[in-house]
Amino acid sequence: MSIETEALLQEAKESIEAAQNYRSELQQRLHGLSQARKQVRGSASQTREALQRHFQELQTAVSRLLTERLNALLQEVDNIELDSVSPLDDCQKLIEHGVSTADELLREGEAAIRCGINEKEDKLGSFTKKALQIQLDSLPEVPVLVDVPCLSAQLDDTLLHMFRTHVARHGSVASHPPVQIEELVERPGGVLVRWCKVDDDFTPQDYRLQYRRGNSSQYEDAYIGKDTEFLVLHLDPHIDHLFRVCARGEGRTEWSPWSIPQTGYTTLAPHEWLPGVDGYILSSRKNIAMRSDSSPGHGGVLYSNTPTYFCGQTLTFKITAAGQTDKRDSLGVCADSRTDTDSLQRDQAVCISTNGAVFVNGKEMTNQLPAITVGSSVTFDMEVVNLFPVSNNNNPSDGGNFKLRVTIGSGNREVVFDWLLDQAVDSLYFGCSFTHPGWKVLVF
């Protein structure tokens, strides 16, 4: 095969590979378009169903309210009519009785006048006596029309206008939710969810974060508040979870539409304290440690169950209860889990004391952080400065110093320094030591 033929063959192979890559990229874009179309059509269908269901329920409720109001007003008319007609009926009965009595008296009088002379005196006397007994000058009182109820319906014509105005403004259709999930960051035993506002005209008052396992259909609340990030803990590693967020506008009671669900997971095992250490009681998930009074004044160091802290992560200690302080108290990170010491203020460890002092390999720094109290959160962030231990020939087996840049934060302050270790480490232990009982610390 000639050189020219080989060149053409190589060019053809490269063109085929480029075409395959081009086709793969186009297929991925087709898949993306399919997902976009599915989202538009699916959300449109769900929105139609929600609108139809809501307005049907609203129509039924309004119809029921109007019917109830109409029946109440008709009942009021019936009650007024009954109360007003009843005395008129009584008066009518009295008058009709008087008319009947007068008719009978008239008949007797006319008969007395027409009778013969022999009977006239007796009948006229009887008629006159009876007429005096009836009291022909006594008449029942009949109410004048102004004193009798004249019912009418008082209807406010502005109700329809107000109703029409409110209905015209009721409900809206949004093409995009006002907030969206911005980032999902895996954390030991959890996922840090960050979100942001994407609608410039929307002023959020509160946010609401929900999540569910990938194989579940039921979401559950994880957070409601004003922050724009939240760490969802107690998630099983390597299991997909779906997250979504919504917001409540300022001065509103209803929540906005949900953001587009995002899938996230963690591959990192949760941080756990080592069980069975004298002087400490652990929670069921082993992420909360409480200093007990079983050995007051003689507490050792409580380490993590395994070295689960890796550089690039944020390790957080949150103090939920506090006891008496001691200069040996400490919270921190270390390269090993030595049991021959009662504090992390030692070599191969960095820590902060409850009074805010920072120790690096057992030496106190001049910079100091705020004292630790109930509600305090202490964070540790580390990054590798040297990928290999620093030695004369850069050979890891020769030993030397392995350098990490450490940032410890507490309150609104932080200190940054370089931490030198004897050898390179892939992961680190965390630990705490409290001399007196009453302290409780959550790690995540």
pLDDT tops 60 at residue 371: yes
Categorize the per-residue pLDDT at 422 as very low, low, confident or very high, splitting at 50, 70 and 90.
confident
Q: What is the pLDDT of residue 136?
A: 67
Per-residue pLDDT reduced to its tens digit, 297-315: 566 899 999 999 999 889 9
Query: What pLDDT was estimated at residue 391?
Result: 47
In contact, 179 and 247? CB cutoff 8 Å: yes
Q: What is the pLDDT of residue 397?
A: 43
As beta bridge partners, residue 401 has 390
pLDDT at 355: 94
CA–chain centroid gap for 432, Å, is 34
Residue 392: pLDDT over 70? no
Least confident of 98-107, 193-202, 267-276, 350-359: 98-107
d(CA 334, CA 317): 15
Determine the Cα–Cα distance for residues 206 and 216; give it in Å rounded to an integer. Answer: 26
Q: What is the pLDDT of residue 390?
A: 45
By CB atoms closer than 10 A (0-12, 13-18, 19+), residue 372 is buried
328 versus 6: the higher-pLDDT residue is: 328
Using CA atoms, how far residue 146 sits from 6, 143, 150, 151, 154, in Å, is 119, 8, 8, 12, 19
Instruction: State pLDDT tens for residues 220-268.
Output: 999 999 999 999 988 989 999 999 999 998 888 889 999 999 999 999 8
Q: Rounded mean pLDDT of 174-192?
A: 92
Mean pLDDT calculated for residue range 49-69? 94
Q: What pLDDT does residue 387 have?
A: 58
SS3 string, the chain, reads CCHHHHHHHHHHHHHHHHHHHHHHHHHHHHHHHHHHHHHHHHHHHHHHHHHHHHHHHHHHHHHHHHHHHHHHHHHHHHHHHHHHHHHHHHHHHHHHHHHHHHHHHHHHHHHHHHCCHHHHHHHHHHHHHHHHHHCCCCCCCCCCHHHCCCCCCCCCCHHHHHHHHHHHHCCCCCCCCCEEEEEEEEECCEEEEEEEECCCCCCEEEEEEEEEECCCCCCEEEEEECCCEEEECCCCCCCCEEEEEEEEECCCCCECCCCCCEEECCCCCCCCECCCCCCEEECCCCCEEEECCCCCCCCCCEEECCCCECCCCEEEEEEEECCCCCCCCEEEEECCCCCCCCCCCCCCEEEECCCCEEEECCEEEEEECCCCCCCCEEEEEEEECCCCCECCCCCHHHCCEEEEEEEEEECCEEEEEEEEECCCCCCEEEEEECCCCCCEEEEC
